[in-house]
């Protein structure tokens, strides 16, 4: 019966995903460029002519003598494939003088997550200003030649790479200048790795989590949750997000070499859901870590069981559906990211940025989670719903290979595992005299197996 109940959820999820895929519509950002925008990035020119060959760009002249002062281009027109950011294309306007040096950079359109990039893509920001005076022969490597926005590596990488790629084409095909590309590939590769070496720490955490899981070591699990809170949460900005799912559904992935951490996080989070259920929720989620600690610190416990528990568990699937529909209907609108930033309170918690609604929702979820174990994770988290659907689908396909094991034929009936489960995912069949685990809700903490007098003997 449990498998049958999961199939409709999986079908709905797949249909919504396909609809999101079909909603990719191109935009022409060049139509929205004003003379003021052009003058901002190429101030030496006061007259501009739009050209369409070999691609959309603008030539800047002086009105007194008609001298060519430079070129202005939009990254979305010159290198559209390099312009995909976290959620959508980032339309970056770049001014280049007649010698091939950048005179100014301005972002005309972006739908990146506001909690990460607020102010950093505004006119005159330090991030955009650092590109000025660079030419096509310079290196544009993050954290080596270009400082990245903390917690927004995809955005930083997209802006940097699109400017570099577009500048090379403009220099060669419009200004007809030679571009020195004689940069050792091996040297560049190691430079990329150098500033992203911290992604290795993420894999070490996963390995440590699995070792602790099979050892049924609860103390080590809390140590790993502490690392997750500090590293994924505070240092990296909040861990995996539903926005990452929307990013994947857009079918425009960021450049691999520039985003090793993000790709690692995606592979880990989704891979764990496929082969180990909601393992990420129970071991690596930084917001889950803080809510679980809060619950342990507060001496009062409220239990939600029965019909209330069953109905509340549906809410997270509703939240997931809403966000996927928003992503479908408003694929080129910041509304999807804004709503995700509210529904996922860790966006506000770890970045200390949000409007009044976001802060009120965060406080409500923290207070509720202090009295009801994993309140947000169990009932409202759209990412948890996504993991549950994915886990249910691959369990149905018999591809899931890591589960929490409780005795079936030799259960003593003590129900210690059921009482210890913090998320009410364990039931007990009175007729068969054996426990059952709801795989779509289980956080894989393995505490139940550790306390079970039969299963704990397998250590």
pTM here is: 0.75
Q: Where do the domains of the chain lie?
A: 2-20+198-402, 33-183
Euclidean distance between CA atoms 41 and 45, whole angstroms: 10
Distance CA 112, CA 241 (A): 13
Residue 105 to residues 28, 32, 130, 454: CA-CA distances in angstroms? 19, 16, 9, 66
CA atoms within 13 Å, Cβ hemisphere of 349 = 23
CA distance 155 to 152: 5
**Beta partners for residue 437, in sequence order:** 426
Q: Give the dihedral of Cα atoms 157, 158, 163, 169; nearest 10 deg.
A: 110
pLDDT tens, the chain, 459 aa long:
444 444 455 555 554 554 444 444 445 566 678 999 999 999 999 999 999 899 999 999 998 767 899 999 999 999 988 888 766 688 999 999 999 999 999 999 876 655 556 678 888 889 999 999 999 988 887 777 888 887 677 788 889 989 999 999 999 999 999 887 655 444 555 555 555 677 888 999 999 999 999 998 889 999 999 999 998 888 877 889 888 888 787 776 777 776 788 889 999 999 999 999 999 999 999 999 999 999 999 989 898 988 999 999 999 999 999 888 887 665 545 677 778 888 999 878 987 777 889 899 999 999 999 999 999 999 999 999 999 999 999 988 888 889 888 887 788 878 888 888 888 888 888 887 888 888 889 999 998 888 888 775 554
């Amino acid at each position: 019966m449990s498998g049958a109940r999961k199939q409709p959820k999986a079908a709905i999820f797949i249909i919504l995903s396909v609809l999101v895929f079909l909603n990719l519509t191109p935009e022409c950002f060049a139509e929205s460029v004003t003379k003021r925008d052009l003058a901002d990035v190429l101030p030496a020119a006061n007259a501009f002519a739009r050209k369409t060959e070999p691609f959309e760009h603008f030539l800047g002249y002086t009105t007194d003598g008609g001298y060519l002062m430079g070129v202005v281009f939009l990254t979305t027109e010159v290198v559209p494939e390099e312009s995909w950011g976290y959620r959508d294309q980032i339309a970056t306007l770049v001014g280049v003088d007649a010698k091939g040096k950048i005179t100014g950079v301005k972002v005309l359109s972006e739908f990146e997550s506001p909690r990460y990039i607020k102010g950093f893509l505004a006119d005159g920001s330090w991030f955009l200003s650092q590109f000025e005076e660079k030419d096509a022969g310079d290196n544009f490597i993050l954290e080596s030649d270009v400082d990245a926005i903390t917690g927004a590596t995809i955005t930083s990488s997209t802006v940097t790479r699109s400017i570099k790629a577009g500048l090379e084409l403009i220099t060669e095909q419009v200004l007809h200048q030679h571009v020195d590309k004689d940069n050792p590939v091996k040297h560049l590769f190691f430079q990329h790795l150098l500033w992203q070496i911290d992604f290795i720490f993420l894999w070490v955490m996963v390995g440590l989590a699995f070792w602790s899981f099979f050892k049924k070591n609860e103390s080590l699990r809390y140590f790993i949750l502490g690392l997750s809170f500090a590293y994924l949460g505070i240092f990296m900005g909040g861990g995996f997000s539903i926005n990452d799912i929307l990013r994947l559904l857009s079918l425009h992935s960021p450049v691999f070499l520039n985003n090793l951490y993000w790709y690692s996080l995606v592979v880990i989070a989704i891979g764990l859901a496929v082969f180990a259920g909601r393992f990420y929720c129970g071991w690596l989620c930084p917001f889950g870590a803080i809510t679980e600690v809060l619950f342990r610190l507060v001496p009062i416990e409220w239990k939600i069981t029965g019909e209330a528990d069953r109905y509340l568990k549906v809410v997270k699937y509703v939240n997931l559906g809403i966000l996927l529909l928003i992503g479908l209907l408003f694929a080129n609108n910041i509304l999807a990211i804004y709503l995700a930033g509210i529904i996922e309170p860790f966006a506000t918690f770890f970045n200390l940025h949000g409007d009044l609604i976001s802060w009120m929702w965060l406080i409500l979820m923290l207070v509720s989670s202090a009295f009801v174990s994993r309140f947000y994770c169990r009932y409202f988290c759209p990412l948890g719903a996504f993991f549950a659907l994915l886990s249910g689908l691959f369990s149905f396909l018999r591809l899931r290979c890591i589960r929490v094991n409780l005795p079936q034929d030799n259960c003593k009936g003590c129900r210690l595992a059921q009482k210890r489960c913090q998320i009410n995912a364990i039931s007990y069949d009175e007729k068969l005299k054996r426990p059952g685990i709801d795989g779509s809700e289980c956080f894989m903490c393995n505490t139940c197996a550790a306390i079970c007098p039969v299963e704990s003997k397998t250590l």
